[in-house]
Chains A and B, each alone.
Chain A
Amino acid sequence: MARTLINVPQKAKRGQVVEIKTLISHIMETGYRRNETGVAIPRDIINSFVCTYNGEEIFRAKLYPAIAANPFITFFTVATETGTLEFKWTDDKGNVETGTAKITVE
């Protein structure tokens, strides 16, 4: 569906707060625009974003048409253990895009 960029530090100390940056390419069509012939363009946005850390949900976002095209979201988490972060974006058409990132905790 779309290209994604995920930025997670490769290594972190136990208990350290790390910043996670995510970007996905998506048109984020608001549903409020019309084309040249006056026909409304149907809404197509990413409406949900979830991040899990070793299977446990750490961050969830509900997105509305007011989010700019190519949604960029950054947030924080505590580096608790070595493992995998999984990212999941869902859009109005039901398309799901996933991504993963590994983090090593020392």
Chain B
Amino acid sequence: MTHQPTRRAVVIGAASAGTLAAAPFLIVRPAAATPETMKAAIHKLIGESPVSKGKVTLDIPPLVENGNTIATSVAVESPMTAKDYVKAIHIFNEKNPQPDAISVYLGPRAGRAAFSTRIRLADSQTVTAIAEMSDGSLWSDSVEVIVTIAACLEYN
């Protein structure tokens, strides 16, 4: 008499096959930026020069519900004259897949060193704005942001 698979064996077999089949559909998250990669990105963009706190005001809500659009603005104290002006403003983040968010380049004709936009954040994290002055000095401001619905990770 040939061996017939028992009912129990069939059920166990089906269950484990199901587990294996399901495995490839696990969510694979993209490698996130870290505070270290943010520092590396900052160094890549502006060099190793020291960055001082101050002069920059990063205006971003500390608690956001939806990480897909966060109104963000940056203002820098500067007379914006031909001799003393803001050359560039950068926004960096710690935990999005990529540490850079935006870089803007302006000149004395701006009149006021400020801009605003809307950014995405994938997680609760610290956002940093750095301003490059015409004399080469660097100033920054950081804000800790709590995000309840993260951007970037949802399926469409």
Instruction: Please report A residues at the B interface, Cβ cutoff 8 Å.
Output: 17-18, 30, 32-36, 38, 41, 53, 56, 58-69, 71-78, 80
Contact = CB atoms under 8 A, between A and B. Distances in A.
Interface in B124-147: none
B98 A33 contact: no
B156 A68 contact: no
Contacts of A77: 109-111
A70 B28 CA distance: 27
A9 to B, nearest CB: 13
A73 B100 contact: no
Contacts of A60: 104-106
B118 A58 contact: no
A70 to B, nearest CB: 8
Interface of B: 24-25, 28, 30, 68-70, 73, 91, 93, 96-98, 100-107, 109-112, 114-121, 151-156
Nearest to A23: B118
A58 B104 CA distance: 11
A41 B152 CA distance: 12
A75 to B, nearest CB: 4
Given A32-B152, A33-B154, A60-B104, A66 B118 contact: no
Contacts of B70: 68
Contacts of A36: 155
A71 B118 contact: yes
Most buried by B among A30, A64, A73: A64
B107 A68 contact: no
Contact of A72 (B93, B96, B110, B117): B117
